[in-house]
Structure 1
């Protein structure tokens, strides 16, 4: 919330755009997004509060009436509470020859009869419990059969918080300029419906003035960041990867990572898995070579990383047996880009000084439970504070942190954050995270920017799942093996060249 206020203040104070102009631009941007969805016969009710959100509602109501729509503007708070730019917008509404309805009991019958409701009640400044009559109005909105469009944020939802007691259940939320954190934090995110960002003309410098960036990563970003593979590339130039993991009871995990890594473009791949598992692995992963390790009773204990290795991924199916901790120490002692997942994260606990000694890229890929263990806090706190906890940990320990879950967050060592927009509930299944680790390992040697490599890997992981569901697969049927196969059919970079095979 503070970031959005800062961007507004920069635009007003430094760029010279008046707040009344910003409000007019916000209203017009929402109108442009709304028009294709409206019918001239719709009974439209605009519900407005005070502040900028209510002011946006005044602009929207005026524009709708200018265009001939059957729109009514209802002001919920007393008129005298409307001030500043919002008051200017209300004056413009009235000067255009229109009148608004002040809150009274007839509002509820109007809501029940509406085809479309535009929620401009409470904006990003909302704090605490809802008071009367806002709570009654929101309940009436949720009980109606109308299509509900929220302006910037569903009323009742905090801009930065995950928890919500009562809020508008929007069908679509037109968020102003930048998504709010709560759009990616459940259960609050479920109130947004479909999220659409509308541009109101705040210049890039206004976002650039913030200490840290938070970017929503879309398919357009993914495609733009895909590297071109040169026509004269050879297997060695496309990365030499090493996957280390597996134990007597968890052989599948490193094999899923290996298959995902190969299908995502790694040039050469070696597997460090227990010797007894190699015959089974060789029948599944034909393209990999195998690296000898020290082991006890089938558990990996020590590993010599080959000097030509471009990237290492460790932890998948490794087990929490204390004898396996040596593998992680061996790998982190080498200044080679490393992805740490699953049991590797378990063995990292209490060994954070190993991270501080490194200059090579280090990527951690915890889910919320693993993140809670790393931070020594509750899972519920991680759920509520995903963005701040990710940033604090990544900056303190100098790592790239991939906090997995709905809207996976990638945080850089500098504190910048990418929010992934791909994926579906089919990814909530064992092996999915192992596949992601393999994709990240394949992408890292082939990108100049590690942050973009990692977020593109996360996006590809989710996009593969989306493609499978789009082709008719039920999300609950999706397996990690399905996901790995789908990676081969993801979109290519624009103007992709034919690649020689060497």
Structure 2
């Protein structure tokens, strides 16, 4: 089809087929017959000797369109497909892939042997999960999803449980900002965070909560660290909590004070900069079952929970957990490699087991709900691969929770805004961007979504 339309537009096209005409069926056979009827020159690659002509052709072409293998292909490219893919990858011309780069598993993103490395991929009707899972995702290039006329009642089938987060989805669910509002209208978020050397994590989370729209943000840390944290904060309020005898670590004795303070709050974030030790676990053991507001759990709090993950099921509200692959590995008694190879299934399994919203961070963050639904963030940038960006996400989620969004929507909206802020910051260059710089782009990310 592409060859026919390009030729009709006056483009010189050379079409290579890796199977005899009689091997094609369905729409492919119909369109091949049309090309034959038009007298379109077709060339076959059926044996190794045919590769030389193909090699000569791609050396002089300005564009290669890859439609070798489709979404139903599994395993390593066989026969002459592998050397043809290698020749295309060595060519100087840009490569556009149709539906999915040949050699990438559409379900898992696995690459067995070789695959096309495209500069752009145009996929049809609905995104394929393999386009967002590595290593296949690295072969996609710029991705565009196009409508090809598939009836909406099919693409909107309720049996489809995996979803791509869109700007419209986020825009339609962001908390309202009425004209006659005041700071109390947008909730109060409490962030329990920080330890010696890690007060920056608390400050970043608090900053993101404010930039995420929370009306008031309180950052609570060990009493001796309060002056340090207060020096880093301008708009957020620093609170001091009872600490361990050695000093610097929040004690589980702080729980009554925290619970009392939460009576005037609408969301809790716990974990940024906390140590992953017994004291943090003791804090969570008392806090989670009694917490009167929705909670997001991150970083040191997650590491502490690795010894007792089912504590998450005792939370009064569905908790949001935000592990990166290393933290997820610890929570699952696994390895980071195993987590990355099984991101969607593992996140879904643990969301059900923990009765939590699982935000598995990384390029193309996966969000799994305890109901079985999956949401994938289509935004990825190396600019987010720097210390402190996870603290920003925690603060953003706390902000949306504080404004009344249910945990699943708070995670979905925050993850998208977080990714978009990173993408906007990366316009200055992906190298050397810091979490604080990305935080500056959070308001712009909201604005971009709301005007889309």
Query: When the two structures are superposed, what TM-score results if normalisation uses the length of structure 2?
Result: 0.90
Q: Are 2:219 and 1:271 aligned?
A: yes
- 2:314 aligned to 350, 354, 357, which one? 357
Native 8 Å contact 1:223 1:492 kept in 2: no
1:70-149 correspondence runs (5 A): 70-103=12-45, 104-105=50-51, 106-149=53-96
Question: Which residue of 402, 412, 418 corresponds with 2:359?
Answer: 402
CA contact (8 A) 1:319 1:343 kept: yes
Taking the aligned partners of 2:390 and 2:230, their CA distance within structure 1 comes to 22
2: CA distance between counterparts of 1:178 and 1:258?
37
User: What whole-Å deviation, never above 9, does each CA across 1:283-323 have from its counterpart, x for those lacking one?
Assistant: 22233344453321221122232223211101111102212
Q: Tell me how far apart the structure 1 counterparts of residues 189 and 129 of structure 2 sit (CA, whole Å).
A: 35
**Residue 392, structure 1, aligned to residue 349, structure 2:** yes
Match of 1:213 among 150, 156, 161: 161
Distance 1:415 1:231, change over 3 A: same
Which of 268, 271, 295 is residue 338 of structure 1 equivalent to?
295
Aligned to 1:324: 280
SS of 1:242's partner is: strand
Cα 1:432–1:448, aligned 2, differ >3 Å: closer, same or farther?
closer
Distance 2:17 2:404 in 1: 53
Distance 2:58 2:79 in 1: 17
Partner of 1:239: 187
1:310 is matched with 266
Contact 2:3 2:15 survives alignment (8 Å) = yes
Deviations 1:268-297 (CA, angstroms, capped at 9, x unpaired): 222220111111212222333444533212
| 1:410 CA displacement | 1.7
Partner of 1:51: none
Q: Greater CA deviation, 78-87 or 143-152?
A: 78-87
Q: What is the distance in 1 between the residues matched to 2:29 and 2:303?
A: 56
Number of aligned residue pairs: 436
Residue deviations 1:236-263, cap 9 Å, x none? 2211111112122322211111111112
* 361-370 or 390-399: bigger deviation: 390-399
CA displacement at 1:327 relative to structure 2: 1.8
Task: Give how far 1:359 is off.
Answer: 4.6
Moved more, 441-450 or 151-160: 441-450
- Determine the structure 2 residue equivalent to 1:476: 431
Match of 1:40 in 2: none
Give the Cα–Cα distance (whole angstroms) in 2 for the partners of residues 110 and 277 of structure 1.
Answer: 68
Q: 2:104 aligns with which of 152, 157, 171?
A: 157
2-side partners of 1:335 and 1:129: how far apart?
53
**Structure 1 residue ranges, 4+ long, deviating more than 6 angstroms after superposition:** 493-496
| Stretch deviating more after TM superposition (482-491 or 336-345) | 482-491
Q: Are the equivalent residues in 1 in contact too, given 2:191–2:270 (CA < 8 A)?
A: yes
Unaligned runs of 5+ in 1: 1-58, 497-502
Q: Alignment partner of 1:300: what SS?
A: coil
Shift in Å, 1:195: 0.8
TM-score between the two structures when normalised by the length of structure 1? 0.81
Shift of 1:210: 4.9
Could you tell me how far 1:72 is from its partner in structure 2? 2.3
Matches of 1:141 and 1:81, distance apart in 2: 23
1:377 aligned onto 2:334:
yes
For the pair 1:184 / 2:132, whether they are aligned, the reply is: yes
1:495 shift after superposition: 8.4
CA distance in 2, matches of 1:495, 1:167: 38
CA contact (8 A) 1:366 1:403 kept: yes
Distance in 1 (CA, whole Å) between partners of 2:315 and 2:152 is 34
- Write out per-residue CA displacement over residues 175-216 of structure 1, whole angstroms, 9 at most, x where no aligned residue: 111222221122211111111111112233223335343232
SS class of match (1:156) = coil
1:476 is paired with a residue whose SS is: coil
- Kept in 2, the 8 Å contact 1:224–1:493? The answer is no
CA contact (8 A) 1:272 1:293 kept: yes
Mapped contact 2:202–2:229 kept (Cα < 8 A): no
3-state secondary structure, aligned to 1:336:
coil
Aligned to 1:431: 388
Q: Measure the CA separation in 1 of the matches of 2:448 and 2:389.
A: 24
- The answer for the alignment partner of 1:286 in structure 2 is 234
